[in-house]
């Protein structure tokens, strides 16, 4: 990981970062921490005028007053692959380059999706409770569960992570389909142009499409009911992609069989209606949350910033900002 720049630019850090990132930033930049600024308006009109870079997370993004109020801002480096909390259109219009951390988390998020799928079908937590409650002693063998081997799985979103999920599912002999904006001619898997149709044809749906206005509630009542009372929904994308109210209703009414959820519409708030249900598995947005993966993400976040100020280039710009690279 690079950490040397001849003259230290000023950096605004938004959100939680790792100690390794903090040490690298302290070496290469003059750092301001958003959470430690008592008066944002005073910062914008004062010290903020010298800020040339922002490091933020995919969850925290960049508040609008910061994005529009820092006159010398040149680059935003996002610690995460998703960047829907950043107004990239406004940034690009202002000539501000935005980067993110693709590829380094593909495998981890894909593994998390399969973990949730298996936890739902094999009733992992139900069986854990079966032991703790004493039911194994009292009642004998636990009820049978379902296998994911040979399962028909639809993947919503067929980018880097979606394709990694497909590759990993092949080890379980799953029959894989996908829905995306366009069909890929090099894919061995079946393409559906209609999401509801795909949901009706598969046993499980894994959501890994970007968040934002274009995909808000893409998984709606019709899609959930098409999956059916034996179907399983896994979401490792963004909570906004799934109509959460419709999901709660589908689970409560038995119109959807299982749900494995790592993301939610109003994080960290999770609907209490989903608590303690035998057919629902909940995790607190941990898709890429391993030491190894977060280190790789952090290194890339730092490297994008350092390379920008050293060479005027970056390693992983978001597509909307490609044209800003010299």
Residues classed as catalytic: 238, 267, 285
Helix axis angle, 291-311 to 106-121, nearest 10°? 150
Angle at 280 between CA 276 and CA 286, to 5 degrees: 100
Taking the C-alpha atoms of residue 92 and residue 75, their distance in angstroms, rounded to an integer, is 10
Taking the C-alpha atoms of residue 220 and residue 196, their distance in angstroms, rounded to an integer, is 9
- Residue 105: other Cβ atoms inside 10 A: 25
Residues 6 or more apart from 257 whose CB is under 8 A from it?
227, 228, 229, 230, 231, 232, 279
- Reading the block at residue 309, the tokens are 């100020």
Residue of 122, 120, 188, 124 whose CA lies nearest to 155: 188
Phi-psi category of residue 317: left, alpha or beta, with phi > 0 → left and psi -120 to 50 → alpha:
beta
């Amino acid at each position: 990981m690079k950490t040397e720049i001849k003259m230290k630019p000023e950096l605004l850090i938004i959100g939680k970062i790792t100690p390794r990132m903090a040490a690298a930033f302290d070496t290469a930049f003059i750092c301001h921490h958003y959470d430690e600024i008592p008066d944002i308006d005073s910062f914008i009109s004062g010290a903020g005028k010298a800020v040339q870079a922002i490091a933020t997370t995919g969850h925290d993004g960049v508040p609008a007053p910061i994005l529009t109020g820092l006159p010398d801002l040149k680059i935003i480096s996002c610690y995460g692959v998703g960047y829907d909390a950043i107004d990239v259109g406004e940034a690009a219009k202002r000539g501000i380059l935005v980067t993110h951390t693709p590829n380094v988390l593909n495998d981890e998020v894909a593994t998390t999706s399969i973990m949730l799928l298996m936890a739902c079908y094999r009733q992992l937590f139900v069986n854990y409770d079966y032991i703790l409650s004493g039911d194994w002693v009292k009642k004998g063998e636990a009820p049978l569960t379902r296998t994911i081997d040979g399962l028909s799985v639809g993947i919503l979103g067929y980018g880097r992570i979606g394709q990694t999920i497909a590759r990993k599912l092949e080890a379980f002999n799953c029959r894989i389909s996908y829905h995306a904006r366009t069909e890929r001619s090099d894919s061995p898997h079946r393409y559906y142009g209609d999401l509801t149709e795909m949901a009706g044809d598969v046993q499980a749906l894994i959501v890994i499409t970007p968040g934002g206005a274009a995909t808000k509630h893409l998984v709606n009542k019709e899609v959930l009911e098409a999956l059916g009372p034996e179907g399983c929904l896994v979401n490792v994308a963004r909570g906004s992609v799934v109509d959460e109210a419709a999901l709660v209703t589908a689970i409560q009414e038995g119109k959807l069989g299982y749900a494995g959820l790592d993301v939610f519409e109003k994080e960290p708030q999770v609907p209490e209606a989903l608590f303690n249900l035998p057919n629902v598995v909940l995790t607190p947005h941990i898709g890429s949350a391993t030491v190894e993966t977060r280190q790789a993400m952090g290194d890339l976040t730092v490297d994008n910033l350092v390379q920008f100020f050293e060479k005027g280039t970056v390693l992983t710009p978001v597509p909307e900002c490609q044209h800003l690279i010299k």
